[in-house]
Amino acid sequence: MESLALLGHGFTIALQPTNLLFAVMGCVLGTIIGVLPGVGPAAGTAILIPVTFVLDPTPAIIMLSAIYYGAMYGGTITSVLINTPGEAASAITCLEGYEMAKRGRAGAALSIAAIGSFIGGSIATMGLVILALPLTALALKFGPPEFFALMVLGLSLVTGLAAKSMTRALMSAVFGLLIAMVGIDPVMGAPRFNFGITDLLDGFEFVPVVMGIFGISEILLNAESEVRGVFDTKMSTLIPTKKDLKDSVGAILRGTGIGFFLGLIPGVGAVVPTFISYVAEKKVNPNPKEGWGNGVIQGVAGPETANNAYANAALIPLFTLGIPGSPTIAILMGAFMMNGLIPGPFLFKEHADFVWAVIASLYVGNLILVILNLPLIPLWVALLKVPYSILFSLILGFCILGSYSLNSSVFEVGTMIAFGVIGYLFKKLDFPLAPVALTLILGPLMERGLRQSLEISRGDFSIFFTRPIALGLLIIAALFVFSATFRVVSQLRGGDTQL
Amino acid sequence: MTMKRPYQITAVVFILFSAFIARESLELKFYTSLGPGPGFFPFWLSVFLGLLALNMLYQATFKPQDPMPADFFADAKGYMKMGAILLALVATVLFMEFLGFRLTMLLFYLFLLFALGRQNVLVTLAVALGGSWGVYHVFVEYLKVPLPVGIFGF
């Protein structure tokens, strides 16, 4: 009941005209990111962080959250219309959604995706409301050793699930941690690895680094390949038939469950729930009238619902424990921290108004996406006709502007370019970027947790093994890393050469 | 062609990087009376990274490798476009404070729109002027975000 009362108060803040306006803007910008093939949610969110520089924390985070789940929805549009997923989580939607579009049922596919996304997102947000206070109460009992162990667990999950290769995933994670070490040491205040460069005394700024790693690298990859679909699909009515709705109910409910539970596990990624949902639908209904691969509506409803349920549920570990489960969520966490807010249990204690307003805005945003997106589909389609040269030039110009305006310094633009090249090389060599983003954010917090713990114990490492919660979390983390390593070793023995 | 050589080169780069970080870490305080110092965490991280990179080198050298993806290397046109983007970005860093935001970004857009795929002259001019003078006006006048003015006074 307490949660509902707090949520009600959150709605009064989220529905204020200014916050509502920024939620709408976030949904529109997020959808644009989702629509544009080649600019994923992580890149888009990173690129758009500077838009919120001039805002107060509440509208800033409301807008960035809306950009995040708007992007998750926007990817569907191109999957259905031009058989090109705007972001990876919508790839599976191409299978049935594009086939529906070829048969003149693009409107029904997009409507069902929107309805499913709304239901999945709303139910997952309800999960956040229900779990927020109990999880927060538990986390408030944590001291530095428990927080350190929790971050190790989050990191091991993301690293273990992020890549085909455990070695490369761990190298990415350690690389991110080392990047996070640059600047003033968080405990003693001594400068580290700044090599006499005063701009590095505060460490690498988060925004130019993620803009480079995710944004610039994607543009470089796209520039060298340049693949582009051509929109030539005819649109029918947007209203699904009664049969469409009836056929989709089960798929939407199953998609919600799959997306929600996988969203709670850091590192699963948005793609996995959509594939599991698609497979589940094929198992539930092995012989549909149309035949799988020929435009079965459940194949759109299930994965799209799972996608948005995942996106909203993935916010639960972030809000309650301060653990980001994906690169986009890590970027969102970075935006929180830039606004002086550290996600985790203390957020609910010290900034209750803010956090409940953001949670309420998730409902508002999900509704905005349904209301706004379907009538605007012609606009999204028009956007796809903008030549890549113009689109990329504008995005790059925006990246320069965003990184420069952070500190009014070209050093940040240089940082963005350098990390853009690093991100490009990492992607080429199949090094996962999720652990880099995560450790970049968690690095200083982890180090502080470790060193504070050792100060408490006067340098005795047994502090991590004598406190039950810390020990339990570390055991789970170790088991996970060992099982992931064992899996890779087995693959190697079986001739599958993943480093 | 396999991924053997790219992974070997990458592993060596990481080994050198980790050795450099380890050396730098040891120049910081490693341990204090209060517990670990600023060099403690980065030192052990660099050791761990070095071990991982050695493992990568071993695997790349002595184990069979994945075939190289068809798009691992771009064609000449692709590299030209990438080079144009990087050149434009680096030039922006070098000239932004000297020429000012407006002139630098005008040249940035004109160059990129020419290099990435030629457009109608009017469209090119509209994008370049909007992205330079237009953006400057909005950011400086309305959002009060300072942007550099160059030697020509704009």
State which of A336-345, A398-407, B101-110 shows the largest mean pLDDT.
B101-110
CA A70 to each of CA A118, A300, B63, B107: distance values in angstroms, whole numbers, following the listed order: 11, 17, 44, 33
Distance CA A344, CA A322 (A): 4
* Confidence class for position A253, pLDDT limits 50, 70, 90: very high
Q: Is it the case that residue A494 has pLDDT exceeding 50?
A: no
pLDDT tens readout for residues B81-97: 999 999 999 999 999 99
pLDDT of residue A174: 93
Q: Is it the case that residue A496 has pLDDT exceeding 60?
A: no
pLDDT of residue B108: 96
CB contact under 8 A, A392 and B66: no
What mean pLDDT is predicted for residues A65-76? 83
State which of A174-178, A335-339, A352-356, A364-368 shows the largest mean pLDDT.
A174-178
Q: How far is A236 from chain B (nearest CA, A)?
A: 32
Q: Is it the case that residue B119 has pLDDT exceeding 60?
A: yes
Give the residue among B130, B137, B153, B3 at the shortest CA–CA distance from B63.
B3
- Chains A–B, number of C-beta pairs less than 8 Å apart: 167
Q: Which is more confidently placed, A157 or A45?
A: A45
CB count in 10 Å sphere of residue A81? 24
* Confidence class for position A497, pLDDT limits 50, 70, 90: very low
Q: Is it the case that residue A305 has pLDDT exceeding 50?
A: yes
Q: Is it the case that residue A498 has pLDDT exceeding 50?
A: no
To the nearest 10°, report the CA torsion of A239, A244, A250, A255: -50
CB contact under 8 A, A400 and B53: no
Distance CA A115, CA A127 (A): 18
pLDDT of residue B95: 95
pLDDT tens readout for residues A217-244: 988 988 887 655 445 555 556 677 888 8
Best of B26, B47, B55, B93 to disrupt the A interface by mutation (most A CBs within 10 Å)? Answer: B93
Q: Which is more confidently placed, B19 or A269?
A: B19
pLDDT of residue A414: 96
User: How do the domains of chain B map onto residue ranges?
Assistant: 4-62, 76-142
What mean pLDDT is predicted for residues B26-46? 87
Q: Which is more confidently placed, B112 or A496?
A: B112
pLDDT of residue A235: 59
3-state secondary structure of B67: strand
CB count in 10 Å sphere of residue A456? 14
Q: Kindly report which listed range (A183-192, A295-304, B102-111) carries the lowest average pLDDT score.
A: A183-192
pLDDT of residue A232: 54
CB contact under 8 A, B38 and A192: yes
CB contact under 8 A, A174 and B52: yes
Q: In the predicted model, what is the mean pLDDT of chain A?
A: 84
* Confidence class for position B51, pLDDT limits 50, 70, 90: very high
Total-model pTM: 0.83
Distance CA A170, CA A346 (A): 30
**Chain A contact set for B6 (CB, 8 A):** 428-429
pLDDT tens readout for residues A414-442: 999 999 999 999 999 989 887 888 888 88
The alpha-helical segments, DSSP class H, found in A374-409 are 377-384, 388-407
Give the residue among A138, A141, A149, A139 at the shortest CA–CA distance from A463.
A149
Q: What ipTM is given for this predicted complex?
A: 0.95
pLDDT of residue A162: 62
Q: Which is more confidently placed, B151 or A272?
A: B151
Q: In the predicted model, what is the mean pLDDT of chain B?
A: 91
CB contact under 8 A, B29 and A450: no
* Confidence class for position A499, pLDDT limits 50, 70, 90: very low
CB contact under 8 A, A225 and B71: yes
DSSP string, B55-121: HHHHHHHHS--PBPPTTSS--HHHHHHHHHHHHHHHHHHHHHHHHBHHHHHHHHHHHHHHHH----H
Closest CB to B146: pick one of A167, A181, A408: A408
Determine which helix (DSSP H) or strand (DSSP E) holds A192, and give its type and residue range.
strand A191-192
What mean pLDDT is predicted for residues A91-114? 84
* Confidence class for position A135, pLDDT limits 50, 70, 90: confident
pLDDT of residue A105: 82
Q: Which amino acid is at A68?
A: Y
* Confidence class for position A400, pLDDT limits 50, 70, 90: very high
